[in-house]
Structure 1
Amino acid sequence: ITAPDPIDPHGTFTHESCNGPCDGTATVAPTGGNGTYTYNWSPMPPSGQGTPTVSGLCAGPWCVTVSDGAGCDTTWCFTILPEQSILATVSTVDGLCWDECTGEATATASGGAGGFTFQWTPEPGAGQGTNSVTGLCQGPGTVTITDVAGCDTTIAFNIVKNPPIEPNLVVFPETCAGACTGEAGVYPTGGAGNYSYAWQPDPGAGQGTNEVTGLCSGVNYSVTVTDSAGCDTVVVFTVPAFIPIAPSISVTDASCWDGCDGAATVASVTGGTPPFTYFWNPVPANGQGGQSATGLCPGTATVTVTDAAGCDTTITFTIQAPAAIDPQPTVTPIACGAQCTGAIDLTPTGGSGGFSYTWTPVPAVGQGTAHVSQLCAGDWTVVITDANGCDTTMTFSLTEPVPVAASATVGESHCGVCDGTAQLHPSGGT
């Protein structure tokens, strides 16, 4: 007596997926028995009752009884599990420098149906499609993780970097032209802190610090500020040139060629660093140090203007004066002794014009004029004064001729003959 093999259902099933609840499936492919199988699923499936395949199964226990034509049967039970969500985390390594894309991210996934793929946004520098990427720039990003069932989840992350280094440069100009006394300082913010400094070209003093001195105008300098993360920024600068001291001077000329009443004033000063001091040469009548000088004689003089930084400049100026008065006299001598027929004519040059005349003693004719006459023998003095009150004095000595005199040598006649002689010897006169 023989019996058929036992019925083996050979069942398979799928759990609920991410596409929605109650989407489980089950299939049996029985062997054994005498064939001609029938199927009874319990509880009643939404679809497929009486067939070897059912669908729309919700999470929970399910059974199928497989019967053959002889009425023999077997029952196979299974459990549909609810959807298993994809569980994912992302760990990041932030970038160091604000201007570099050196961030990293790694995704770890579990749950779901396994067989995960990874899609990163934005595009990483390297590793797209894998769970670990590099070359990420600063800012937000996402990774979408998909399992073999097509279910996915998206995780957001953020790459953070240190803020940019702001050097905050301050530059001070040279204090004197060509003196290389410029200064500079950087007072950075941002970055990772703990800054170091490299200046090019080398300053006069302070290399490696945030403040340097001994900088020259007309030179292109740079300073590289580096933080503790190795990130840096470079700033290029020049030192402003010193604005030269430029005095403006006004001059008052002397009124007379032989007077010292000239004056000069430094009317304004541009450039340099106030306050200013003044040194005059020669020393003025009102003393040193002032902005104005008085009592200056005709000729060349200088003033040296020095600013608060010790820089100076020297200005040369000239005190002018009218030319000396030249009387240019024409003298008419006395013609005869004991007569007052002398005369003096003046045609003065120089001075400032507008001449007046004072004669001593008072002449008979012409007092107050350039022409006097009827002058007797003696000394005559004239003071010529111009419009500025400048004067010159000249004395003339007039002499009269010795009176005309004569002597005679006489030779008498002899014996009534006209042989007498006479010889005249005049003297004096002109």
Structure 2
Amino acid sequence: FTITQPTALTATQSQVNVACNGGTNASATVVTTGGTGAYTYAWSPSGGTASTATGLAAGAYSVLITDANGCTLTKSFTITQPTALTATQSQVNVSCFNGSNASATVVATGGTGAYTYNWTPGNPTGDGTATATGLTAGTWSVAITDANGCTITKTFTITQPVVLAATAAQTNTATCVESTNGGATVTVTGGTLPYTYLWDNAVTTAANTSLSVGTHTVNVTDFQGCTTTATVVIGFSDTVAPVPTVANLPNITAQCTVTSANVPVPAATDNCIGTVAVTSNASFPITLQGTTVITWTYTDVNGNVTTQNQNVVIDDTTAPVPTVANLPAISMQCDVQTTDIPVPTATDNCSGTLTATTTDPLTYTALGAYTITWTYNDGNGNTTTQTQSVTVTESAINAVTFTGATYIYNTAAQGISVANLPAGASVNYTIAPDTGLGNAAINVGTYTVTAVVTPAADAPNCDPVTLTATITIDKAEQQIIFDPLPLKHLESDPDFQLTAYATSGLPVYYTYTFTAPNPPATVSASGWVDMLTSGLVQITAHQDGNANYLPAASVVQPLQIDSNDSTIHAINIDGTEYTSPQQNTYYLMACENTANTVTVMIYTEANATVDQGHEFTINTPAPGIYEQSVTVTSQDGTTTNTYNITVERMFPFFDIAVQKFDNVLMANNNPQTNGGYSFVAYQWFKNGTLISTKQYFSEGPTNNDLLDPEAEYYLKLTTVEGDVLQTCIGHVTLEHNYRLSVTPNPATAGRMITVTVDFPASELENMQIDIFDLLGRRVHTANTGQRITEIQLPETIQAATYIVMCTTPNYQKTFKIIVSE
């Protein structure tokens, strides 16, 4: 016997230690070889039963490995961890209230360097380093992370002193406004002691006794350099009244008036500097006869008052003097009223201008001469008298006359005026019906003019005179000027505005007539001509007159419009319209259209001629392409255009397409059976997608590759002449006809032939294909289970006629082919 033993049970070991102190993310792994597999594992004190123990904390571990024979092996591991990540911290607090000059620092140890730092909140200056600066009062934190992703967070509370505040108060007032003996003291709270002081007069103590009157400022600085400011207002106190410079003021005398300029303002002195204000109770000018007492008041800048009296004496002894030494005589037409007699005046040394008074009536209505006696009294006991003559004469407007007139309308105002109007007299005209022109009219009619004659300004007391006369204005004649119209060309000349006018200036309107079925142009009543087609239009200009003009004779001018348009505007083929067609128009007849003609309608400029007529038919007796050229000649005979119309009548699908078996469609290229066509190119479409460019289309080589009865098939064919024809859409019907076909035929030696059969699938399971020559000798044999089979002819086969035979258990079909070299 030969006794064997397994190889020694061994294991290699590897471990991943704890990343962070106190963590449980370590692992230990053994890879076992030898012994007799499979192996089992038992980790101690923990770790599970797999070859890898995970979730381990720092410490000692072992694994017992046992193979299938119960052989064991023990491996030990010591899992380590880094020292704990710790940090010491220090800080510098804010020095002044609301400041931002604090800082915080951490010094990290332990863990696994290097360290990263993230300060919050926000991103303060120094974020990412061990020190953050520019901090405000509040709570700040820093997250410290070592290279293993272990993290600790330290928090700082940054403090700040209480806000530094100061108030200043006055302790005593100054003696006078100019004094500097006022006192004040400042009281400070908050900040950091001790404080220093600086007043605006350089005093550096909290109390200041050398302040002037007004507002003063003191700056306070604490131990940290924080500053604040306080202000105080220093007043003053004065109780001594001013003393008059002159003890007894002299009297002021005058005849009539004393003004402020006649009275010197007295003065007084005061113990404090500053102006002494001097006021009085006097109301200037003083004109009251007799004695008036003025009381003067002296007030210093601090409100102390002294008073003093002064007498003003006024006495008038002079009589008034008339302004005009000899008053002018008054002479008026019709009468003299009080308002016509200016009241004379006199000049008084005291009262100024005086108005005379009289006991005479001052109203004189009868013709004749009168005398007025005037008296002037100054009110102070002094009087003067004066006389004036008055004469009443007859009115001068009684000689005015007013005569009517007759005129022909001429667009201008025509009127009448009074005669013998005295110099200075005025006349006011009104007219009925009203024209707004007073004594004139413009429009045709009969008008009554009323003239009211007003006397001249020197006869204001005479009444106006009213006279009437008649103006008659008859209608005027007028004529229409309508020049002959030039020949217009429809394509090159724009629509235009007629310019006929009436000599009266009244608006002309137009009418038009034409003999064509449709108007060559339309003419608006205002004369805008919109040219539509060639032709002749008779345009008539009218002016029917109005209230001022008789009707004008109408004027007729012919408008001839020529056209050189030989284009087709639209073609309509059996109801399908082509607007602004190109030179070649293609029309595809619908498959359901069984008619043998199509109707073509040509739309051109109205008087253009079409060689085929504006409506004609194109015969389409059979599928194919039919062409018709059309020549259009413009109305003026200067241009022609030739257009080509192509009509295609599609083939019924199965007139060209032949269904072979249930999976092949073949194009009929035999002119004797397809209507006389020879094709050179083919395009098969299924549901609008191109599927083949061969003469035939096959759904595939297997028995299950059948034509789709639900699909839409159609075929495009190119003739030897280059025309591209197409079929209507066709749908196939599946049916087995047990037919056999071979393509190509003739075939070529050494090339492939395709054998297609239309047998049921059950017959295809054991079908044999044989090729015989005409002597019955087999030249090739093959077995197949497909409807379509490709066979390569032998290179050595002779050019001749051969029989292809397909044999199944129940059927046998033959097909002749020709093989060429």
TM class by shorter chain equals 0.3 to 0.5
Greater RCO (CA < 8 Å, at least 6 residues apart): 1
Q: Determine which structure has more spread, i.e. the larger CA radius of gyration.
A: 2
Q: Give TM-score, length-normalised by structure 1.
A: 0.47
Q: Give TM-score, length-normalised by structure 2.
A: 0.26
